[in-house]
Amino acid sequence: MHLPMQMKAMVLTGHGGLDKLEYRDVPVPALADGDVLIKVAACGVNNTDINTRTGWYAPSVKTALTEEIGLRGVSAEAQDLGSWDRASLQFPRIQGADATGTIVEVGPNVPRSRIGERVITDPCIRDARLPPLSQGILYFGSEYDGGYAEYTKIPSGNAVKITSTLSDEDLASFACSYSTGEEMLVRVNLQAGETLLITGASGGVGSALVQLAKRRGARVIAVGGKSKEQSIRALGADDFIPRERGDLFEAVTEIVGLREIDAVADVTGGPTFSQMLRVLRRAGRYVSAGAIAGPCPEIDLRDLIYKDLQMWGVGNPQASTFAALVGYIERGEIKPLVARTFALSELREAHTEFVSKKHVGKIVIKI
C-alpha cells in the first residue's frame, strides 16, 4: 500500500479554549521499533481530552469542570498546567484515546502479518517491568500522539485485533470508557448479587459501568440527570436517583435501607462524595475514576476509619482488563452507546456538544 507523506490531523497547540484545536496538515508518523501504523477510521471523545486541553488537571484548579471551562479553559494565571499525571506536556499534540482502524504498516520487530488487521487501541502504554498497578507510563492521546488524525502510530501490543460486525464508530466508543469502568469493577471485586451505586451514569464511563455491572449480575442503582432516566434504565439500571434531588444518602436509604451499599463506582466526585461513603456498609468498597463535579470534596474520615472502608483510584487499567473487554465486545455481552458522530474537522463542535452534557453515552469522531 502506498502511504502518503502528509495527513490531516486535529492538533492541540496549547492549554486553553476551543481555539487551541487546529485542523492542519502534518507528517504521517514515522515508526520506531515495535510500532504499528494505523489508518484511523473513527475515534471516541473522552473527558481526558477536555481535561488536558483546558488545563483542568492542574492541582491549583479546585472547581468542577464546568461548561465554561470546557469551552474557554482554566484561568491563564494557573502556573501548574499539565496532563493526567501532572507531567508537563509537549505541544503540538494530537489527542484522541479511542482509535479504531486498520494496521497499514509495521515497524522493526513487528510481524508483517499484522498488516490488514482491524484493531482498537488500548490507550494505556505500559512498562511491563513495573508492578502491575504502576505500569502505565504514557497515555495515548495525552503524553503520546493519539487518534484525531488520518493515521496514528502506537506500540504493537496496544493495537488489539478485534473481530466484530460492529461499525467503526461503534468500536471507537469502547476503549477508554469501558476499560476504565471494567477496571473499577476489578478493583472492587464486584460479585453477583451485590449492590453497586454508580454516579454520572449517563456519561461514557458511567453508562459503561451500568452494562458491565449488570454483566456481573449485580444490582445497579444509577445516579444521573433526571431527563436521562429512561436511557439509563434501558441500559439495565435497576433503580435510578435524579442527580437534581441532592440528598443522595436519603435517596439511597429509601431504596435499600441504611448503609446497605456494597460498593460505589464514582466518576463525578463533587459535593456528594461524603454521602457516597456514608451509604456504604461495613467494609464497603469505593472506587473513583473521575472528579468533574469537583476534585477537592470534603471527607469525614470517621466513615473511612470506623467502617473499615476500602478505597481505590483508577487512571490506568491493566492489560488483562483490556483483553477481557475485547472478549466481551466480540461475544456481544456489552453494546455500544453512540450519541452522535462528527467529522474530524468538526472536533471543536464535538467538544462543545460534549461539555454541554446533554448526551447519553459517547460522542465519536469519524475520520
Residues 47 and 49: their CA atoms lie apart, in Å, by 5
Q: Which residue has the cell 470546557?
A: 70
Residue 143: name the closest of 156, 164, 127, 125 by CA: 125
Domain ranges of the chain: 6-174+336-366, 177-313
Task: Please tell me the class of the 177-313 domain.
Answer: alpha beta
Fold for 6-174+336-366, please state it.
Quinone Oxidoreductase; Chain A, domain 1 (3.90.180)
Which of 208, 216, 125 has its CA nearest to residue 174? 208
Q: What is the pLDDT along the chain (367 residues), one digit of tens a residue?
A: 689 999 999 999 999 999 999 999 999 999 999 999 999 999 999 999 999 999 999 888 899 999 999 999 997 666 677 666 656 678 999 999 999 999 999 999 999 999 999 999 999 999 999 998 999 989 999 999 999 999 999 999 999 999 999 999 999 999 999 999 999 999 999 999 999 999 999 999 999 999 999 999 999 999 999 999 999 999 999 999 999 988 999 999 999 999 999 999 999 999 999 999 999 999 999 999 999 999 999 999 999 999 999 999 999 999 999 999 999 999 999 999 999 999 999 999 999 999 999 999 999 999 9
Distance CA 204, CA 202 (A): 7
Yes or no: say if 9 and 365 are a contact pair by the CB < 8 Å rule.
no
pTM of the model: 0.95
Element (H, E) at 302: helix 301-306
Q: Kindly give the pairing relationship between strand 6-12 and strand 21-27.
A: antiparallel
Domains 6-174+336-366 and 177-313 belong to one CATH topology: no
Helix or strand or coil: residue 118? strand
- DSSP-based three-state secondary structure for 210: helix
Task: Retrieve residue 300's grid coordinates.
Answer: 469525614
